[in-house]
Amino acid sequence: MLPIAEDPELLQAFLVESGELLQGLDHDLVKLEACPTDQQLLNQAFRALHSIKGTAGFLALEPIVRVGHRAEDVLSDIRQGRLQFSRRIMDALLAARDQLGVMLADLRAGGLKQYSLDSLLSQLEQVRSAEASSLSPKVADPPLVPSPQATAPPQNPDSGRAKPKVSAVSREPTAPAAQSMRVDVRKLDELINLIGELVLERNRLLQLTKDVARGRGVCSTSDSPLMHCALRVSFITEELQAAGLRTRMVPIETVFAKFPRMVRDLAHSLGKEVELVLRGQETEIDKTMVELVSDPLVHLVRNSLDHGLELPQVREQAHKPRRGTICLQAEHEGDHILIRITDNGAGINHERVLRKAVEKGLVSEEQAARLSTREINELIFLPGFSTVENPTNLSGRGVGMDVVHSNLRKVNGSVELDSKPGEGTVITLRVPLTLAILPVLLVQVAAEVYALPLRSIEQTSRFVPEEAHQVEDQEVIWMGKEALPLLRLQNLFPDKSASQPAATQKVVVLEAAERRIALVVDGLLGQESTVVTPLAPYLNHCVGIAGTTVDGDGRVRLVLDPAGLIAAAASAGQAVSR
């Protein structure tokens, strides 16, 4: 049997639990800074540290124990009223929390490394004594002499858990732990019930096919027992698919949790005052989406703080409250999640954006003069755009907004920006609830069948060739009161085996990010729900293709990317004129 400290399952459970506790700790500490007397928050933070430390001791993760222990001491002093919260104490506690985060990440990646914890530990020790022995300015700024012996045992005599340092560090690096997550038992129960039903139905199906094989069953009518059974199986499978996906849903809180801390640190370093409001944290989102939206959100919130919100003095001059507000809000809308980042800052300076775009050669002078407000806002998402004259390490590196944009487009999401000068900016991310299942319309073009995501389809109708007109380089068609660019897939996907177009063609009006095109197809074959997998990485630059799916016969079918097709249609006109 493995010693307890080596048990991978225990370790895994510790990692999951501590990860959650640390995230909560972040949140609590930042809140405590705002209301230092909140006993409940204090207790919560204390308990979090205590249980991380406790389990780490159990698992002989000695560096974690040492840091946890010192930080706990500080909180304990505060709890007992021997210490008052101050900025220095908070910085020390947050530093300890960060160190714990680093160590947990290392552990997750294989094993603890060597850490020089002395300066952190003495920082924690000193805030205790300095603040407690009250107010001597000399002690308040102590030189943190790093001891040459980085792995000195803890000074604190009562930490009896201090095992020889080597025990935790020189341990064979374990293989990277598999990712795991917590799932509500009710979701699992639902899943297992459905599997039970499926098994029953499978048994019935086997029996029925046997009967048919013996010539006993009747399977030629649409009302046969076999048909009923197939329908049941189909129904249960759909339910099962949905239930399976639900197990992967987590509250978006897991994404939001890191923002209070981030905003606090950033606001301090920028000299800004800000209140962060979080709403709709219980909104559920697919675990696979969490990673995808997490980075863009960090970037956008940073941008709001850095570019959007003004300095307190400037805000006062503009008759706004000193303290700015950033609101992060999540809500469901159909099969999407909307995440809104609202700030009441200065808004986007359209003149500056335009000037910059012209300078960088992203648009010409004449183009710039004709752009609508909306189009100006969209300039920000172009690659290579950045308006900050002196790039800071926070933002303004010109990579970012365009990355946000392209990342979201990859998953069929979108980002929109609305801004009023002087009043603030609203950025809306629209992210599909899940990557996995997509309702599609199957269309035929020449010999190929393609799948079009249903949500981008506005309407379909008969194609009347006489209604198409050539305007300069672009074919357009009147749909209602609007002329839409016309796209023929054959032009985009050259195919040597050119076949006659069908006698009666159809048009499908596609919409993405409020731009629309009309796609000519040879036939509409019907709808289905399908599982989409992305194309192999080295094929993913193929314009207009979002991924693949496998049809009932096992053949691979291409899923078209409406946004890509729209972009391609826009550039196709120019290509012809060259």
Q: Can you give the binding site for another protein, defined by CB under 8 A?
A: 448, 492-495, 533, 535-545, 548, 550, 554-558
Long-range contacts of 167-173 (CB under 8 A, 24+ apart): 167/60, 167/62, 168/60, 168/61, 168/62, 168/63, 168/112, 169/62, 169/63, 169/111, 169/112, 169/113, 169/114, 171/6, 171/111, 171/112, 172/111, 173/110, 173/111
Shortest spacing between CB 501 and another protein, in angstroms: 17
Are 85 and 28 in contact by the 8 Å Cβ rule? The answer is: no
Q: Which helix (H) or strand (E) holds 426?
A: strand 424-432
In the complex, least distance from residue 204 CB atom to another protein, rounded to whole angstroms: 26
- Closer Cβ to another protein, 206 or 542, answer by number: 542
CB of 488 to another protein, least distance (A): 13
Q: Rounded to the nearest whole angstrom, what is the least distance from the CB of residue 383 to another protein in the complex?
A: 17
User: Smallest gap, in angstroms, from Cβ of residue 556 to another protein?
Assistant: 4
Contact (CB, 8 A) for 295 and 306? no
**370, 319 contact by CB (below 8 A):** no
Q: How far apart are CA 194 and CA 99, in angstroms?
A: 44
Q: Which residues pair with 278 in a beta bridge?
A: 328
Min. distance of Cβ 535 from another protein in angstroms?
7
| Residue in this structure with the two tokens 């919260």, named with its chain if needed | 85
Rounded to whole angstroms, how far apart are CA atoms 568 and 543? 7
Residue 364 makes CB contacts below 8 A (sequence gap 6+) with 358
What is d(CA 455, CA 453) in angstroms, rounded to the nearest whole number? 6
Q: Which is nearer to another protein, 141 or 495 (CB)?
A: 495
Least distance from another protein to the Cβ atom of residue 542, Å: 5
- CA dist 553 and 235 (Å) reads 20
Please identify, using beta-carbon distances, which residue of 182 and 555 lies nearer to another protein: 555
Q: Which is nearer to another protein, 497 or 577 (CB)?
A: 497
Cβ 404 vs Cβ 296: under 8 Å: yes
Three-state SS at 576: helix
User: Minimal distance in Å, beta carbon 544 to another protein?
Assistant: 8
Cα distance between residue 85 and residue 95, in whole Å: 15
Q: How far is the CB of 503 from another protein (least distance, A)?
A: 24
335/495 with CB nearer another protein: 495
User: Measured from the CB atom, is 4 or 556 closer to another protein?
Assistant: 556
Half-sphere exposure of 239 (CA within 13 A, CB side): 16
Question: How many angstroms separate the CA atoms of 405 and 485, rounded?
Answer: 23
Nearer of residues 157 and 494 to another protein, judged by Cβ: 494
Q: Which is nearer to another protein, 115 or 493 (CB)?
A: 493
CA pair distance 277, 421, nearest whole angstrom: 22
476 three-state secondary structure: strand
Q: Name the residue nearer to another protein (CB basis): 2 or 536.
A: 536
CB of 568 to another protein, least distance (A): 10
- With beta carbons less than 8 A apart as the criterion, state whether 451 and 558 touch: yes
**Token pair in block for residue 10:** 């225990």
Cα–Cα distance for residue pair 62/68, rounded to 1 Å: 10
DSSP SS3 for 469: strand
- Least distance from another protein to the Cβ atom of residue 533, Å: 6
Q: Looking at beta carbons only, is 524 or 535 nearer to another protein?
A: 535
| One-letter amino acid of 42 | L
Cβ-based nearer residue to another protein, 221 or 571: 571
